Amino acid sequence: MSQVETAGAEILSEIVRIVNATTDLEERLRQVVDLTAHRMGQDVCSIFLLEDGRLVLRASQGLNPESVGRVSLFLGEGLVGWACVHRVPVAVDNAQADPRFKYLGATGEERFQSLLTVPILLQGECIGALVVQTLSPSSYTSDKIELLTTIASAVSGVIRTAQLYKNSQEQLAALTAISEISRALISTLDLDRLLNLIVEKSVNLLKARGAILRLLNPETQTLEIRASYGLPPDVARSRALAFGEGIAGRVAVDRRPVRIDDASHDPLVAATGLFKSILCVPLVSKNQVLGTLALYDRGGDLPGPFNERDEHLLVTVGEHVAIAVENALAHERSEALAEESQRRLMELSILYDIGQAMSTTVDLNRLLQIILTGVTIGGGLGFNRAMLFLYDDRARTLEGVLGVGPRDAEEAWSIWQRISHVRTVDEWAKTTDRTAEPEESALTKLARSIRIKVVPDAGVLARTVLEAVPFNIPDALNDPRTNPELAARLGTNAFATVPLIAKDRVMGAILVDNLFNRRPITEDDVRFLTLFAHQAGRAIENAQAVAGLDAARKSLLELQDRLIQTEKMAALGEMAASIAHEIR
């Protein structure tokens, strides 16, 4: 047996031991290059592995250790790349003189002369290269080439074993992660918490830089960002996308995942320059697109673009996520309906209580006091201040008649504490003196000082009467619909107005604000106030009708008294005439 054959037998025996070892792939490759360099009497032994189209230096004995994992070649580039493309060994006495040579400065290989490289083949496919080098020129015999080829075959076995182990570990990790995600998804029906959980788990599962989850807004038909993880705030607050717009829009339309390995070459995302690679999958449940889940920039042990395995894994996760999101959305809708029902029930209860209070009197002044108390009391509509204006359709003017509310914040808190035990307007009405004349408050004085001509350019109050619609003014100073003088007199920058309507006739208007607690007036507040105003308008109409009837009754009684007096006088006249006649 020749010296080469003896060395080959010893090397193969050692490699079999390395193949069966339980150490990780990196350590086993390091042992292979150390063993090969020593047994074959070479100054350098290196292993390049094919990863995402590039031959990456993964182990070396003799080259600069810092270059391992950092230096790479394209397929076909250099002597190593050429050998891999053509799947044949390459042996040269003076590598640097060969035109195919590619100098890799970080390795420190400029000292070495001869080079022998053989492709590492696995099931007929090239997965890398095994390279040896010497300091002085040296010819490689066919025996040495055959030996290195044999070692390369053994190395492919090492890699195959490691890949199988890694794949099994990855599959186990994926199944474990999916199981954990599934358990996490069923642990809550809180949509926001669920979405934040999804993006965090997805990023951790695929070792990504960050994630964005978009949900379809059925009203606007746009994909809105509802959760993000690991990304800059400005990216996480990106605008909504229409169907077909951007990566997420394209995924939502096609209902297929999109994997972009090099974002710099994709026109949809290249302009941002924020990401290197993107993986986006649709979230579909019951044949309906709910949204998209996108991951950005794979990291971890294998930084670079996402691979096919990542895509399959995220698609599987997306299927579980879609079901969980659908359940959470259904729960959110049911809760919203329950809240809406509860709110409507509360509104009806408040309207009933105020209606009961209003039914206790037909006195207009007392009624107006009840109406504005209902608008401001905590058990009613709960506004801080309210003013009531009545419309004179003959003079076409709107005149303030009553105001209810504190003068300042201190008085507001004092009043709220004093009446906190009064739960309803009806209760308030029953506990107050019906015959007592209410004290003229500062707000009532302010209301009575306001007299507005009802014409289109007179501001919001006039338009409330003319158009018979409510107005919500959140910023009076910058709203062209607002009369600046009125806003200044009110001393508030946010208020709402609603018309008082009875039988399609505008009776007046109510103005409300939250000057002291600064609570924004919502559209729901205005809607509820409008409902109440219709009820109040009918009550005012009835009170005015009763007042009119009462005035007519008094007028008739006065007329009757005058007629009686006239008849008495006529009778006395007749009697006097008769007596005078008798005397004559």
* The pLDDT value given to residue 535: 79
Most confident stretch, 279-283, 306-310, 347-351, 355-359? 279-283
Q: Which residue carries 């939502």 as its tokens?
A: 252
Asked if 194 and 164 sit in the same domain, the reply is no
What integer pLDDT is reported at residue 436 of this predicted model? Answer: 47
Q: What is the mean pLDDT of residues 495-512?
A: 90
Query: In the prediction, which pLDDT does 552 show?
Result: 75
Answer for the pair 172, 203: CB distance below 8 angstroms, yes or no.
no
Full residue range of the structural domain in which residue 404 is found:
359-548
Query: So what's the pLDDT on residue 430?
Result: 54
- The answer to whether position 504 is within a domain reads yes
Angle at 419 between CA 414 and CA 425, to 5 degrees: 140
Confidence (pLDDT) at 467 = 93
Domain termination site, one of 125, 141, 168: 168
Q: What is the pLDDT of residues 516-537, one digit of tens each?
A: 888 999 998 898 888 888 877 7
* Residues 157 and 208 placed together within one structural domain of the fold: no
Sequence-distant (≥ 6) Cβ neighbours of residue 278 within 8 angstroms: 247, 258, 259, 260, 263, 266, 269, 294, 295, 296, 306
Structure tokens at 230: 């690991």
How far apart, in whole angstroms, are the C-alpha atoms of residue 57 and residue 267? 32
What's the confidence (pLDDT) of residue 361?
Answer: 66
Radius of gyration of the chain (CA): 45
Q: Is residue 508 domain-shared with residue 427, that is, in the same domain?
A: yes
The pLDDT assigned to 57 comes to 94
Q: What is the CB-side half-sphere exposure of residue 109 using CA atoms within 13 A?
A: 25
Residue-wise pLDDT tens digits, 319-365 = 888 888 888 777 777 877 777 776 676 666 666 666 666 666 667 77
- The CATH number assigned to the domain holding 535 equals 3.30.450.40
Residue 223 to residues 226, 239, 286, 343, 535: CA-CA distances in angstroms?
Answer: 9, 9, 18, 30, 42
Q: What is the mean pLDDT of the chain?
A: 82
Domain count, the chain: 3
312/461 same-domain check: no
Q: Does residue 567 belong to any structural domain of this protein?
A: no
Q: Is the dihedral of CA 62, 161, 74, 266 positive or negative?
A: negative
Choose the most confident range, by mean pLDDT, from 260-274, 303-317, 513-527: 513-527
- 404 domain-assigned: yes
What is the tens place of the pLDDT at every residue in 140-196? 999 899 999 988 988 888 888 777 877 777 777 777 777 777 776 676 667 788 888
Residue 380 has pLDDT above 70, yes or no: no
Looking at the domain assignment, is residue 63 inside a domain?
Answer: yes
Question: 366 with 515, same domain?
Answer: yes
Is 566 inside a domain boundary? Answer: no
Q: Are residues 154 and 191 in the same domain?
A: no
Q: Is the pLDDT of residue 415 over 70?
A: no
Instruction: Give yes or no: residues 537 and 422 share one domain.
Output: yes
Residue 527 lies in a domain: yes
Q: What are the Cα distances from residue 443, in Å, to 149, 197, 400, 552?
A: 100, 52, 10, 33
Residues 65 and 203 in one domain: no
pLDDT tens column, 218-242? 889 999 998 899 888 877 678 889 8
> Is 338 within the bounds of a domain?
no
Measure the CA–CA gap between 563 and 167, rounded to whole angstroms. Answer: 114
- Do 429 and 489 lie in one domain? The reply is yes
Task: Determine, yes or no, domain membership for 535.
Answer: yes
pTM (predicted TM-score): 0.49
Residue 379: per-residue pLDDT: 57
CB 36 within 8 A of CB 153: no
**Per residue in 42-72, pLDDT tens?**
999 999 999 878 899 999 999 999 999 889 9
In tens, the pLDDT along 76-98 reads 999 999 999 999 999 999 999 99
Contact 197, 228 (CB under 8 A): no
When mean pLDDT is compared across 232-236, 247-251, 276-280, the lowest value belongs to: 232-236
Per-residue pLDDT at 434 exceeds 70: no
pLDDT tens digits for 461-489?
Answer: 999 999 999 999 999 988 988 888 888 88
Q: Contact at 8 Å (CB) between 496 and 513? A: yes
139 and 223 fall within a common domain:
no
User: Does position 368 have pLDDT exceeding 80, yes or no?
Assistant: no
Please tell me whether residues 163 and 192 are part of one structural domain: no
* Residue 413: per-residue pLDDT: 64
Residue 125 sits in the same domain as residue 247 = no
Q: To the nearest whole percent, how much of the chain has pLDDT over 90?
A: 29
Taking residues 286-306, what's their average pLDDT? 81
> Which has the minimum average pLDDT: 380-394, 426-440, 554-568?
426-440
